[in-house]
């Protein structure tokens, strides 16, 4: 029961109505009999969210699109790994001091480790906060990065950080791309494709983050979008015989790491997964 002693946690984003974070975190609070509640706040400016944390004594926050980078300048302290990544997805309110962390990168590489990332060509679609974390993780695992992005300036900036190749989304989306052009980009030789953008996320479920003509059966295709679980990209990739990884694994692992930062309790990921599956049925 919510009362005057209830601790408040939340997620800041735009859009955020699709988020399953309230579902999994509230399930974990209930499991551990904690007088806490987790809510979703859709805001226009992250500065307002940070101000709310201070004013309302919000104990912890998840940060999602499009605020993972912009929130950093409003925090009191940032963890070294989050600083290296250049993005924050978790905030802990420690006695009024707001500290930023990033739980995305470990959660992103975890489902890829069984396939061996070292020396594999890994194409990351996007250059925002999630891409920053995924690129950091792939780089630590010694994968060969290629960055694909609409905004050339942002894409090139991320690529240069890891001495990676950059390819503009415009070039990828050319409908009459010929075989020579494909070979010149090197994309056809990619081992792993990872979509870190919101392309394909509900309600725009018919959009695909990567040209279907460039997918082949030997590729591993991962999408961090988890609403829907099988995005257009994953559906097409599966039809072409690719190995596919949906966004639920990364979502659950980064969420579990957040819960541990806030409460010092490592939650049951099986419970979190079952909670989402039950809600979807």
**Residue 51 marked as a ligand binder:** no
Tell me: is residue 212 an annotated ligand-binding position. no
**Residue 68 is a catalytic residue:** yes
- Whether the CB-CB separation of 125 and 193 falls below 8 Å is answered with yes
Task: Check the annotation: does 20 bind a ligand.
Answer: yes
* Residue 80 annotated in ligand binding: yes
Q: How far is CA 72 from the centre of its chain?
A: 17
Residue 21 annotated as part of some ligand binding site: yes
> Is 265 annotated to bind ligand?
no
State both tokens at 149.
């992005």
The CB-side HSE value for 113 (13 A sphere, CA atoms) comes to 12
| 4 is an annotated ligand-binding site residue | no
Catalytic pick from 59, 68, 144, 161? 68
| 127 carries a ligand binding annotation | yes
Distance CA 258, CA 264 (A): 9
According to DSSP, residue 139 is labeled H
- Give the separation between CA 198 and CA 66, rounded to whole angstroms: 10
**H or E segment to which residue 94 belongs:** strand 90-94
Is residue 119 annotated as involved in ligand binding? no
Q: The tokens of 65 are what?
A: 């699109």
Asked whether residue 254 is marked as a ligand-binding residue, the answer is yes
Residue keyed to tokens 């541990």: 260
Please give the helix or strand (H or E) that residue 194 lies within, else none. Answer: strand 192-195
Place of tokens 């979807």: 280
Task: State yes or no: 89 annotated in a binding site.
Answer: yes
Give the annotated binding-site residues for shikimate: 19-21, 64, 89, 104, 226, 254
Give the annotated binding-site residues: 19-21, 64, 80, 89, 104, 126-130, 224, 226, 247, 254
Catalytic residues: 68
Give the annotated binding-site residues for NADP(+): 80, 126-130, 224, 247
């Amino acid at each position: 029961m919510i009362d005057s002693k209830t601790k408040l946690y939340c997620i800041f984003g735009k859009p955020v109505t699709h988020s399953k974070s309230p579902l999994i975190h509230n399930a974990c609070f209930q499991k551990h009999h904690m007088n806490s509640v987790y809510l979703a706040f859709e805001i226009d400016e992250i500065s307002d969210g940070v101000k709310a944390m201070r004013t309302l004594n919000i104990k912890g926050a998840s940060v999602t699109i499009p605020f993972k980078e912009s929130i950093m300048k409003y925090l009191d302290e940032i963890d070294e790994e989050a600083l290296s990544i250049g993005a924050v997805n978790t905030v802990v309110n420690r006695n009024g001091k707001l500290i930023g962390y990033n739980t995305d990168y470990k959660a992103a590489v975890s489902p890829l480790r069984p396939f061996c990332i070292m020396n594999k060509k890994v194409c990351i679609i996007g250059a925002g906060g999630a891409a920053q974390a995924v690129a950091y993780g792939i780089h630590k695992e010694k994968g060969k990065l290629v960055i694909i992005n609409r905004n050339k300036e942002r894409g090139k900036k991320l690529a240069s950080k890891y001495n990676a190749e950059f390819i503009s989304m415009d070039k990828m989306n050319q409908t009459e791309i010929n075989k020579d052009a494909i070979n010149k980009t090197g994309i056809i030789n990619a081992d792993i494709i990872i979509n870190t953008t919101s392309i394909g996320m509900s309600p725009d479920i018919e959009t695909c983050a990567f040209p279907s003509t460039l997918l082949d059966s030997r590729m591993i295709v991962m999408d961090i979008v988890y609403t829907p679980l099988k995005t257009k990209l994953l559906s097409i990739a599966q039809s072409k015989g690719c190995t596919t990884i949906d966004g639920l694994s990364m979502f659950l692992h980064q969420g579990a790491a957040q819960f541990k930062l806030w409460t010092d309790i490592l939650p049951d990921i099986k419970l979190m997964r079952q909670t989402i599956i039950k809600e979807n049925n």
